[in-house]
Every structure is written in C-alpha cells, then in structure tokens.
C-alpha cells in the first residue's frame, strides 16, 4: 500500500546514490588496469573457483541441517507437551546472544579432539550451532500461528505425532522455513572468523577468506583483489534477487515475544 507521495520517494531516490556508489566503486576498482582481464586472471588461478565450490558445500550442508533440526524442534516446542518444555526452549535460545568470537578457544579444542583440522566439518558444526537458534525461534513462532482446529481435526482422523508434523504442520510453515534457509545461507556464506581460524588450507577455504588471502597473493595488484571480491558476492546477490519475494522479514518482528 502506498502511504506517502512523491516528495518522500524523491528523497529516497537521492539517498540511493550513497548506497549505489560503493557498489559501483567495487565494479570500477575490479576493472582498473586490465579490465576484464582481471577476472580471467583470478579465475585461471583456480583459487576462486575452488573457494566458491567450498563455500557451496559448507553452506548447503549447514542450511539443510539447520532447517531439518529446527523444523523438528520448532514443532515439538510449539505443539507437543513434555516436561521442562519452556525452560529448555529458553535455554536453547540463549544461543542467539552468543558472539562466535566468545567461544573460539573451546571450538578450536573440540576440532582438535574430533580430528577435524582443515576439514569442512571444522566449521559446519559450529555454524549449525550458531545459526540454529534463530531458525528455531522463527519456526516455533510459525507453528504457534497455525490454527488449533487443524490439529484437532487430524487427531479425530487418528493422526499420530509424525503425521501431524509431516503432513499437517510442515507444509504450512514453508514461508518461515524458506526464510530460515535463506538467512542461514547468507550467515554461513558470509561468515569469516571461524573460516579464517579453522581452515588454513586453500583447498578447503570458502570465499569469505578470499580478501585476506588475495591481499597477500596480489599485494599491490588491487584490481585483481576486487575482481575476486566481486565474484565472491555474485552468488549471494543473485540468490537474493531471485528469491526476494520469500524474504518476508516481517516474520522476525513477531520474534520478540
């Protein structure tokens, strides 16, 4: 619904220059000196492509795991009754408040004891742990918002708990689950600190570490760094533009309860 008229649109349009210029600067810097040759050079080096593949593997695994475990738990916390339900839900949500940086030391120790040094698992499990609380919050809210009559009717048909979850509830929370998937995708793709510390081998490094690596590799050849940076942003920006209708962040607004 349109609320305000043209003057406000004009202001938003003018301000948009401030948002557009840095993006243009990214493009411009990546084309300096050798033009598109910068892109050819960084792609031929192979490192960028390997990193993109690594990011894809790490991200997709994390997203699938988070959506799976939070749908299950969100349903249980919303619709099932068991001892310590609200206490345990509250405890799980404290994970929302935890900066990854605060638990780097124990993460490193866990990785050592599991023998995960320089493998995808070294970051995948911490990512699942850090990103599932938000998914749990969103999905529990989504299950809460389903009408009770739906479950009562299914109960009369003799539906068991699995059927309640799989056939009755799950299909109706697809919008929330999509948001969880998209947000987890972005969080994982863009995560930097754990990837920097736990993945030292370029063969397993994701794209978020590229800036630092290329800074050392190309040092003064700044345009090549920017070409690599721009390439690393294409997947997330394209993903966003294609899926923006599913970015219903309004679901977060109901999350403060």
Partner 1 sequence: MSIATARRRPDWRRSPAAILFILPCVAVFGVFLAYPLIRNAYVGLFEWNGLTSDTVWVGLENFIWVFTSPAVFGTAVNTLVFGVITIALQMGGGFLLAVALSGPGRLRQVLRTLYFIPVVMTPVVVGFLFGKILEPNDGDLRNLLDAIGLGALNHAWLADPSTALVAVALVNVWLWVGFAMSVYQSALTTVPKELIEAARIDGARSHQLVTQVLLPFLRPTHWALLTLSVIGTLKTFDIVYVLTRGGPSGSTELPTTLLFRTGFEEYQQGRAAALGTVIFLVALALTIIQLRVARKGDER
Residues 31-50 within binding reach of partner 1 (CB under 8 A): none
Of 195, 196, 77, 171, nearest to 133 by C-alpha is 77
Dump the DSSP string for 199-255.
Answer: --STTT--GGGHHHHHHHHHTT-HHHHHHHHHHHHHHHHHHHHHHGGG--THHHHGG
Distance CA 54, CA 58 (A): 6
Q: Does 220 sit near partner 1 (CB under 8 A)?
A: no
Is residue 20 near partner 1 by the rule CB under 8 A? yes
Please choose, from the candidates 203, 198, 206, 201, the residue with its C-alpha nearest in 3D space to the C-alpha of residue 112: 198
Q: Residues, the chain, total?
A: 257
Interaction of residue 18 with partner 1, rule CB under 8 A: yes
The minimum distance between CB 7 and partner 1, in angstroms, equals 9
The mark string for 77-96 relative to partner 1 (x by CB under 8 A, - otherwise) is x-xxxx-----x--xx-xxx
Interacting residue with partner 1 among 40, 49, 53, 161 (CB under 8 A): 161
Least Å from the CB of residue 53 to partner 1 = 17
The answer to whether 256 contacts partner 1 (rule: CB under 8 A) is: yes
**Residue 25 found at the interface with partner 1 (CB under 8 A):** yes
Among 31, 56, 57, 110, binds partner 1 (CB under 8 A): 110
Give the tokens for residue 115.
């023998």
Part of the chain binding partner 1 (CB under 8 A), chosen from 36-44, 46-54, 56-64, 73-81:
73-81
């Amino acid at each position: 619904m349109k609320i305000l008229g043209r003057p406000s649109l004009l202001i938003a349009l003018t301000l948009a220059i401030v948002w557009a210029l840095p993006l243009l600067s990214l493009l411009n810097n990546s084309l300096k000196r050798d033009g598109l040759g910068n892109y050819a050079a960084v792609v031929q080096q192979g490192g960028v492509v390997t990193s993109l593949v690594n990011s894809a593997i790490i991200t997709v695994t994390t997203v699938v795991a988070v959506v799976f475990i939070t749908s299950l738990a969100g349903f249980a916390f919303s619709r099932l009754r068991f001892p310590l339900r609200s206490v345990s839900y509250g405890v799980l949500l404290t994970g929302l408040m935890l900066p990854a940086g605060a638990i780097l030391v124990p993460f490193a120790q866990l990785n050592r004891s599991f023998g995960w040094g320089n493998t995808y698992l070294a970051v995948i499990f911490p990512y699942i742990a850090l990103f599932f609380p938000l998914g749990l919050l969103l999905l529990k809210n989504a299950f809460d918002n389903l009408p009770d009559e739906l479950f009562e009717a299914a109960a009369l048909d003799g539906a068991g708990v699995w059927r309640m979850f799989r056939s009755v509830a799950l299909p109706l929370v697809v919008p929330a689950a999509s948001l969880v998937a998209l947000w987890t995708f972005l969080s994982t793709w863009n995560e930097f600190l754990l990837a920097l510390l736990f993945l030292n081998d370029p063969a397993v490094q994701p794209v978020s570490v590229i800036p630092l690596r290329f800074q050392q590799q190309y040092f003064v050849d700044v345009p090549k760094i920017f070409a690599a940076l721009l390439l690393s942003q294409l997947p997330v920006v394209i993903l966003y533009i294609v899926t923006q209708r599913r970015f219903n962040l309004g679901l977060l607004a109901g999350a403060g309860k």
